[in-house]
Amino acid sequence: MKWLSLIFISVGLSVGRASAQSFTPADLVNLSSYSPRYAEQFLIKKRFVPDRRQMDYNSVMTTFVQNEKRTDTEKEGADSVITRSIDIFQKNDSKYFVWRTTSEDEFIAGRTQLAGKDFFYDHSVDLDRDTTLLFQKGNITVETKHELNGDETVYSFVLKKKEYPDPKTIRFADDLLNFNSSEYLSGYFGASNLRQDLYYFSENDLRKCTVLFPNSNRQAVFVWKDQKNLRDLSCIIISDILPTVDGKHYEGALLGNNHWVLKNGIHCGMTLKELLILNKNDFEIYGKRSEFAYMIKPVKNGELDFSASGITLNCPGCDYNKLFDTPEVKAKDVVERRLSLNVAYISIFPGK
């Protein structure tokens, strides 16, 4: 945030010569990508002057303000004023640019402008009436809302620009947890490498999801908590076969074992015997009558922490084996019976 100091040096000298101009969400998006020097010049031209600096989120938050007489007919009175402000700060790996205005017309026009600039948003909403909306494009999100400040309504556009991870850091399946929205995935991997689909939790429970590298040995299914905005990660499914609507009807050649590997070494196609060796201890598998049939019990009992991910096994012929009639089965007992089990589905969860 050192570049904010540069703005304070020259903005006071130049503001008197600048002509009054309005501010738009497009300007806010542009501001988030400008170099420090150009950002300074841009704010000067827009007649924003520094108002205060304060510590927020362990970083310096700088506020700029701009006042000008209204040219619209929102309020009666020739002396009414549009007040605008911009807060700029950084939190963790994201930069924030918050633009506030007291003009309702400006607020409505701004959201229409974002919708026309290929930002993704929930098209079931009414741009003129629904106040709280979310617009997304790549690593940028813009949330719109309003609040009362005394007797006056203040409308705001909160832009968050999150840095993309270094490609060198995306090596394991766990690293995909960095991607918390479909748009963020699209901006990083490219829209051509994604497909929107529906994930089968059950025949009566379908969830919107985004498939990365569909029908390839690098495919991964991202299931979203926020089904309208396709964000807030619920889980990621790694599998050879896609448990999705489109995947169910895929008639191409089988891709072989999925290449994504967890940091602990687990991968699709791994045999139960290999899991036992890697864990260095016995563990339990749910029986066929359980709603979690053939899933490894999610506890840590050895080198592997099965509570950090969901591991479901493929077991041809196990439905007819009495060994799995019990609620839980010891993995060593299964291996001793020489039953052929291997990893079919890996579910990973944020925060685990």
pLDDT in tens, 39-63: 777 877 888 887 777 876 677 888 8
pTM: 0.86
The answer to the question of residue 266 being in a domain is: no
Tokens representing 82 are 């549009």
pLDDT higher for 253 or 328?
A: 328
Find the DSSP H helices in the chain.
3-14, 25-31, 36-45, 104-115, 182-189, 245-248, 272-279, 331-336
Residue 79 CB coordination number (10 Å): 7
Residue 180: what are its φ and ψ, rounded to 5°? -105, 10
Mean per-residue pLDDT for 337-350?
94
> 34: which DSSP letter?
S
Same-domain status, 87 and 210:
no
The answer to the question of residue 194 being in a domain is: yes
Q: Which domain holds residue 180?
A: 167-248
pLDDT confidence bin for 13, thresholds 50/70/90: very low
The answer to the question of residue 256 being in a domain is: no
The answer to the question of residue 265 being in a domain is: no
Tokens representing 218 are 């690098």
Give the angle subtended at the CA of 314 by the CAs of 274 and 215, to the nearest 5°: 100
3-state secondary structure of 316: coil
Reply yes or no on whether the pLDDT at 228 is more than 90: yes
What is the tally of helices (H) and strands (E) in the chain?
8, 15
The answer to the question of residue 264 being in a domain is: no
The answer to the question of residue 10 being in a domain is: yes
Give the total number of structural domains in the chain: 3
Question: Where is 284: in which H helix or E strand?
Answer: strand 284-286
Same-domain status, 16 and 128:
yes
Reply yes or no on whether the pLDDT at 226 is more than 70: yes
